[in-house]
Amino acid sequence: MGQSVNYLGLIPLFPLLGSVLIGLIHVFAGKKFRISEKFYGILACVGPVLSFILALKTFVALKALAPESRFLCHKAFTWFSVGELHIDMGFLADPLSCLMLLFVTFIGSLIHIYSIGYMGGDKNYGKFFSYMNLFLGAMLVLVLGDSPVVMFVGWEGVGLCSYLLISFYSEDRSNVLAGNKAFIVNRIGDLGFVLGMAFLFWGIGASGFDFLSLKAHSGNLTPAIALTVCLLLFVGATGKSAQIPLYVWLPDAMAGPTPVSALIHAATMVTAGVYMVARFSFIYANVELAGNIIAWVGILTALLAAIFGMFQDDIKKVLAYSTVSQLGYMFAGVGVAAYSAGIFHVFTHAFFKALLFLGAGSVIYALHHQQNIWKMGGLKSKMPKTYFTMVIGALALSGCPPFSGFFSKDEILYSALATGHYGIWMVGVLVAGMTAYYTFRMIFVVFHGTPRDQHAFDHAKESPAVMTVPLIILAVGALFAGFLNLPAIFGGSQMVTHWLAPSLTEHHPHASLFIEIIAIGASVAAFVIGIKIAYTKFGQGAPAPEFKGFAEFAYHKFYVDELYHAIIVQPYKAIGSIIWKTLEPNVTDSPVKAASKLYMAIGTAFKVFQVGYVRIYAIYMIVGLSLMSLFLSQSLN
């Protein structure tokens, strides 16, 4: 049991309090006192920044401890305790959660600062920041929760916030529908999480339900229950981290304001699934089948999303599918039990994806909410800072050495190869090439060539400093974050992997230099081929393509949304209306109706005797009395 420090609880509390405060001011005072945007903006940044400072403090405190005893915890109060079930509102900082904490609060803070500029002039400015703070607070609860149940609070909390923020422009029905979709799809995943927790609780027995106790007693699980728990929890992860079959909500989540997309895709929410699997590595590491399923689901998601990404025309959709695809890599990593590689990719991805989204936001802002890349072009000269930083992000995403994405992605592919998952490795390399292609397709179309919409181009200008400075900071991160985990082949010492080691149950494959070189060589070759094709097709500017045949099929995302609509949504509604219109009145309610009819029928039958003549009633009386006397005399004898 680790050392107890009180400030851990404050880390999520600051943004949560900020959210409540901003929300209350917005609802009760916003209209009357004309609160200025600046006030909201500064108030909104206080919480995240304070959390970041405390995250640094946590990091320093952990660093001071011996590697195997790097645990800080804080039990705020007993949350609920019934019989053998005892849940504390407790927080746990270990190397894993600390790493998450650092980049979540750092990137979260930057996104908040950026939003001050991006959201300027919106009538619901206060509401926006209230939700953003809530979002970050929920994510920090998720990261810091010391038991699956506390984690679940944040887990559902980010789901709620994504709903609120996706349907932020709520006057438009399609935005609200996207929000509903996000919440409901996430809820399907959450069902898996809840059931997984239930099996875990009963399977491990009543010896504490916090992560440290669970880890200590994970041997109690029978193989069948361990597999069930792993798969159910992974269902939760597919919902939150947008994997097959529950990835459909994430591309639609673009309906929200762009900083929200950055927050969802980079710092919060979608990384939760990977984090959770790594958190439970002490169970997953022992269930190979579950790991294989996760790895294959991950890499196939990566492939599918990359195919979709190649044929999108909305700049945010391209990025959205790239997120789904990169998340697929992360799951491939944790699936082959390379948990630190998966988490490292989460870490580097947070930088370059936040950068790309905020850069896209900067472009959208400059073009007055134009998102179609075929209406852009030649913006390089108009927006140099945005262009320059986005290229860095794009290189990192495509896995160009020595940008951060290269090292983390390579680590995953290398682990797959070294553990003998050749199929996964091959698909992974293919997807790497596709990633380079669609990323640079976007860059070339947006920034190179000639303007496609001259009017919009003429009015475009570089975004204000409050937006570009976060871009530059993130670009530095995207450029250098990879060096934190430099593998031995480049003379590094894998700092991140060593840092994470106490939190994770993983065995590092011992492979030859030869395999390492093959892995790196294949990745680099894929990158070069991808970018070459993109340059040939779009480098000099190209007209908007006509999507035909397979391209059309991919442009419509293989009609998966339509398929889900036809096989899930429609039948669901149909069952509802069958129950209401047919079953309820004709079947369930029929005994009651029959009873009342019977009652009426009997009443009508007896009406025959009620003739209304006294003489008839007198006869009834005489007959009745005679019968009674007869009966009495019989029984007396």
Partner 1 sequence: MFEHVLSVIIFLPILAGLLLLVTPASRTIARVSGLIISLATLVLSLDLYANFSATGHLEFVEYIPWIQSLGVSYHLGIDGISLFILMAGSVLLPMVYLVFTTKEKGYYANLLIVQGAMAGAVCAADMILFYVFWEVMLLPVFFMLGLYGGPKRLPATLKITLYTIAGSLLMLAAIVYLGVSYHAQFNEWNFAISKMAQLNLTGRVAAVAFFGFMIAFAIKIPLFPFHTWLPDAYTEAPTATTFVLSAIMAKIGVYGVIRFVVPVFDEQFARFAILLAYSGVIGMMYCGLAAIAQKDFKRMLAFSSASHMGIIALGVFCMNMQALTGTIYQIVAHATSTGVLFLFAGILEDRTNTRTIDDLGGIAAKAPVFALFFAIAMLASVGLPGTSGFIGEFMIILGAIKFNTVIGVLAGTSLIIGVCYMLWMFQRVFFEKSNANSENFKDLSLVEGLTFLPVIILIIVMGIYPQPFLSKITPSVALQFSQNPPVIAQTVTTNALLPELTIEQK
Structure tokens that stand for 37 in this block: 């945007």
DSSP 503: G
* From 170-178, 269-277, 355-363, 627-635, span contacting partner 1 (CB under 8 A): 170-178
Give me the sign of the Cα torsion angle 475, 478, 479, 484: positive
Please identify, using beta-carbon distances, which residue of 150 and 394 lies nearer to partner 1: 150
Report in angstroms how near the CB of residue 515 gets to partner 1 at its nearest: 38
Q: Pseudo-torsion of CA 424, 425, 428, 433, nearest 10°?
A: -150
In 3D, which of 242, 260, 266, 257 has the Cα closest to residue 103? 266
Q: Which residue has the tokens 């006294």?
A: 614
φ/ψ of residue 270, rounded to 5: -65, -25
Question: Is 10 an interacting residue with respect to partner 1 (CB under 8 A)?
Answer: no
Report in angstroms how near the CB of residue 178 gets to partner 1 at its nearest: 11
Could you say which residues in the range 264-323 bind partner 1, by CB under 8 A? none
Partnered with residue 3 across adjacent β-strands are 72
Please identify, using beta-carbon distances, which residue of 461 and 573 lies nearer to partner 1: 573
Q: Which amino acid is at 580?
A: W
**CA angle, 337 as apex, 331 and 338 as ends, to 5°?**
80
Give the relative orientation of helices 37-63 and 95-118 as an angle to the nearest 10 degrees. 160
Report in angstroms how near the CB of residue 162 gets to partner 1 at its nearest: 13
Question: Is 32 an interacting residue with respect to partner 1 (CB under 8 A)?
Answer: no
Please identify, using beta-carbon distances, which residue of 461 and 581 lies nearer to partner 1: 581
DSSP 264: I
* From 181-189, 332-340, 406-414, 513-521, span contacting partner 1 (CB under 8 A): 181-189
- Which of 33, 202, 483, 631 binds partner 1 (CB under 8 A)? It is 202
Question: Is 146 an interacting residue with respect to partner 1 (CB under 8 A)?
Answer: no
- Which of 29, 42, 60, 198 binds partner 1 (CB under 8 A)? It is 198
Distances, alpha carbon 142 to alpha carbons 105, 265, 271, in Å: 13, 16, 11
Question: Is 171 an interacting residue with respect to partner 1 (CB under 8 A)?
Answer: yes
Report in angstroms how near the CB of residue 603 gets to partner 1 at its nearest: 14
Report in angstroms how near the CB of residue 386 gets to partner 1 at its nearest: 33
d(CA 446, CA 44): 32
Structure tokens that stand for 290 in this block: 């579950």
Could you say which residues in the range 565-594 bind partner 1, by CB under 8 A? 572-573, 575-577, 579-581, 584, 588-589, 592
Residue 379 C-alpha from the chain's centroid: 32
Please identify, using beta-carbon distances, which residue of 33 and 580 lies nearer to partner 1: 580
Residue ranges in 539-589 assigned as alpha helix (H): 550-555, 560-564, 570-578
In 3D, which of 388, 423, 430 has the Cα closest to residue 409? 430
Q: Which amino acid is at 430?
A: L
* From 113-121, 200-208, 317-325, 459-467, span contacting partner 1 (CB under 8 A): 200-208
Distances, alpha carbon 341 to alpha carbons 325, 335, 370, 415, 422, in Å: 16, 11, 37, 8, 17
Report in angstroms how near the CB of residue 175 gets to partner 1 at its nearest: 8
- Which of 156, 210, 410, 411 binds partner 1 (CB under 8 A)? It is 156
Say how many residues touch partner 1, by CB under 8 A. Answer: 63
Question: Is 195 an interacting residue with respect to partner 1 (CB under 8 A)?
Answer: yes
Do residues 450 and 543 touch, judged by C-beta distance below 8 A? no
* From 77-85, 367-375, 395-403, 535-543, span contacting partner 1 (CB under 8 A): 77-85
DSSP 490: G
Question: Is 381 an interacting residue with respect to partner 1 (CB under 8 A)?
Answer: no
Tell me how long the chain is: 637
Question: Is 173 an interacting residue with respect to partner 1 (CB under 8 A)?
Answer: yes
Contact set with partner 1 (CB under 8 A): 23, 27-28, 77-83, 85, 89, 149, 152-153, 155-157, 160, 163, 167, 170-173, 176-177, 179-180, 183-184, 187-188, 190-191, 194-195, 197-199, 201-203, 205-206, 222, 224-225, 228, 572-573, 575-577, 579-581, 584, 588-589, 592, 595-596
